[in-house]
């Protein structure tokens, strides 16, 4: 299904600012639907003088009118005149009589969606139309809460028509844990006095420690009274509980966390009160804190593993210097180099939250280490890297770093043994694969004769076994060696998930 942006841009009339405005309004579509106990549909004009639905929200506390998805459909004939009148006249248009939709009586209200231009001298313009579809088949005596919710919805609809809602100054905070109308709603007058508090809102404040009725009380005084003494609180909390700014804040007391979101209500640029949505997010905040703690623990583990590996590498280096056997010294030096390459990956993982590795940075450190350690007194190797590896999952960064360590080491120790030459590592990445070529300007090997040492076995095991890729040695006598590694990225991403 097409997104809101795709549908709006397809009509060829909207600017980026218009799309942003519609996205903000659609983001609060569920709030409007819950307050109005009705379906909310956003329409934009089309080239053929009609309208197309670009967003839809169903009410949580009432029966929906649209059991099938309406997004992408054209406006129905029985609503077209009403929607067009709201769009061209820039005014709210109510249906004169109940409208029948699939044998269900409904009431439709069409609200023009007006965008306030960024330029002060530019007049507001109508982007589209928001329609409210109320199911009259379930009519019953409305409760005080339903009456208050409907009044709040009417105030917000009027603000939509006067370009006062949505408010672009409001933060676009994460939707996770965002308060909803059903979680708790408080209605404030212009002085910040509570005129209505839903049962869920009262329960949330009771859990914070407030044991009286909220109605008739100043919300800022109530909140101040329940906050623990000598404890820091959210700096935005005062403007939230007074209803003066479209902001979000958390209140913490007695081990309970309640998230608040304020929507100031205006009538022709004059404040008439505010809606304060509240939600008990204690469990959500606890889970978030656990994730932060786990992330810190994982980083600490990587840091300690890196330290331990560096200690092991140091011990191997000391042992290599003290041994009298050239063969044993070479074996210890190679082991030290391999351990150090793995340590570099763990060091990178200890610096960030994500368990993904910017492999270009990792390999730059590994390459410098390898070139310094592998070069013999009479060997001068110039190394360079072209292309980009990109970001790789952590479980694949280690085997690839170790494999490339072996290949570069072989190129320096054997290909360029006793002379001067170049070692190039070329990386080419696409959406489907990662190809790495390691080539040197050394003496090379006879065609078809690939080394059978421990390093070659390690490379084959890592590339073919752990990464599911292929590796090919192409040697030309007297002209160097070229090793091609091909790794399918789909395999890497599937294993990473």
- Span 408-420, pLDDT tens digits: 877 777 777 667 7
Which is more confidently placed, 108 or 61?
108
Most confident of 131-135, 349-353, 363-367: 131-135
C-alpha radius of gyration, the chain, whole number: 33
Tokens of 149: 């919710």
Q: Are strands 256-267 and 248-253 parallel, antiparallel or unpaired?
A: antiparallel
Report residue 174's pLDDT band, with 50, 70 and 90 as the boundaries: low
All domains of the chain in start order, with CATH? 4-161 (3.30.450.280), 181-280 (3.30.450.20), 380-497 (3.30.565.10)
Output the pLDDT for position 449: 56
Output the pLDDT for position 123: 65
Report residue 103's pLDDT band, with 50, 70 and 90 as the boundaries: confident
Tokens of 9: 């841009």
Mean pLDDT of the chain: 83
The yes-or-no verdict on residue 375 having pLDDT over 70 is: no
Report residue 58's pLDDT band, with 50, 70 and 90 as the boundaries: very high
Alpha-helical runs (H) found in 166-322: 199-208, 219-226, 237-241, 282-322
Output the pLDDT for position 352: 58
Output the pLDDT for position 372: 60
Compute the average pLDDT of residues 24-46.
Answer: 94
pLDDT digits over 70-90, tens only? 999 999 998 999 999 999 999
442 burial (CB, 10 Å; 0-12 / 13-18 / 19+) is buried
pLDDT digits over 456-475, tens only? 777 888 888 878 888 888 87
Which is more confidently placed, 195 or 303?
195
Output the pLDDT for position 446: 57
Output the pLDDT for position 349: 65
Output the pLDDT for position 338: 72
The yes-or-no verdict on residue 340 having pLDDT over 80 is: no
Output the pLDDT for position 356: 76
Output the pLDDT for position 102: 73
Q: Is the backbone of residue 296 left (phi > 0), alpha (psi -120 to 50) or beta?
A: alpha
Compute the average pLDDT of residues 222-248.
Answer: 83
Q: Is the backbone of residue 46 left (phi > 0), alpha (psi -120 to 50) or beta?
A: beta
Compute the average pLDDT of residues 144-168.
Answer: 93
Tokens of 413: 């120790």
- Choice among 211-215, 368-372, 373-377 with the minimum mean pLDDT: 373-377
Report residue 121's pLDDT band, with 50, 70 and 90 as the boundaries: low
CA 156/CA 276 separation, integer angstroms: 13
pLDDT digits over 286-324, tens only? 777 777 666 666 666 766 777 777 788 787 878 888 888
- Residues contacting 436, CB < 8 A, separation 6+: 389, 400, 404, 425, 426, 427, 428, 484, 485, 487
Report residue 273's pLDDT band, with 50, 70 and 90 as the boundaries: very high
CA 455/CA 402 separation, integer angstroms: 10
Output the pLDDT for position 215: 94
């Amino acid at each position: 299904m097409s997104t809101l942006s795709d549908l709006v841009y397809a009509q060829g009339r909207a600017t980026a600012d218009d799309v942003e405005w519609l996205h903000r309004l659609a983001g609060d579509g569920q709030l409007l639907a819950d307050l109005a106990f009705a379906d909310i549909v956003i329409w934009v004009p089309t080239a053929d003088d009609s309208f197309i639905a670009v967003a839809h929200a169903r009410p949580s506390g009432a029966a929906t009118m649209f059991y099938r998805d309406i997004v992408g459909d054209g406006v129905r004939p029985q609503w077209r005149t009403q929607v067009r009148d709201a769009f061209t006249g820039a005014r709210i248009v109510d249906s004169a009589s109940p409208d029948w939709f699939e044998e269900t009586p409904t009431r439709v209200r069409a609200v023009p969606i007006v965008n306030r231009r960024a330029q002060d001298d530019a007049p507001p313009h109508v982007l589209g139309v928001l329609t409210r579809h109320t199911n009259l088949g379930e009519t019953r005596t409305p409760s005080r809460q339903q009456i208050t919710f409907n009044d709040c919805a009417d105030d917000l609809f009027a603000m939509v028509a006067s370009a006062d809602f949505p408010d672009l100054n409001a933060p676009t905070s994460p939707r996770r844990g965002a308060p909803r109308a059903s979680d708790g709603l408080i209605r404030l007058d212009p002085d910040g006095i509570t005129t209505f508090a839903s049962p869920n809102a009262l329960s949330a404040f009771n859990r914070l420690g407030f044991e009286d009725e909220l109605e008739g009380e100043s919300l800022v005084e109530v909140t101040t009274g329940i906050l623990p003494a000598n404890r820091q609180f959210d700096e935005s909390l005062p403007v939230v509980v007074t209803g003066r700014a479209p902001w979000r804040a958390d209140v913490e007391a007695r081990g309970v966390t309640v998230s608040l979101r304020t929507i100031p209500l205006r009538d022709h640029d004059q404040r008439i009160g505010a809606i304060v949505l509240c939600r008990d997010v204690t469990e959500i905040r606890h889970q978030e804190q656990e994730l932060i703690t786990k992330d810190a623990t994982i980083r600490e583990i990587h840091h300690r593993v890196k330290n331990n590996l560096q200690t092991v590498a140091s011990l191997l280096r000391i042992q290599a210097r003290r041994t009298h056997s050239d063969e044993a010294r070479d074996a210890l030096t190679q082991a030290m180099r391999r351990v150090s390459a793995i340590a570099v990956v763990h060091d990178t993982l200890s610096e960030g939250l994500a368990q993904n590795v910017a492999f270009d940075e990792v390999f730059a450190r590994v390459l410098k280490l390898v070139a310094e350690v592998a070069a013999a007194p009479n060997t001068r190797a110039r190394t360079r890297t072209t292309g980009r590896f990109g970001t790789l999952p952590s479980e694949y960064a280690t085997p690839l770093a170790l494999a490339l360590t072996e290949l570069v080491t072989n190129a320096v120790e054997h290909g360029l043994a006793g002379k001067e030459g170049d070692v190039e590592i070329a990386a080419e990445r696409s959406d489907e694969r990662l190809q790495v070529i390691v080539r040197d300007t050394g003496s090379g090997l006879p065609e078809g004769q690939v080394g059978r040492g421990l390093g070659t076995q390690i490379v084959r095991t890592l590339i073919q076994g752990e990464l599911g890729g292929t590796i090919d040695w192409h040697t030309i006598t007297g002209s160097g060696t070229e090793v091609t590694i091909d790794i399918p990225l789909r395999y890497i991403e599937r294993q990473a998930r």
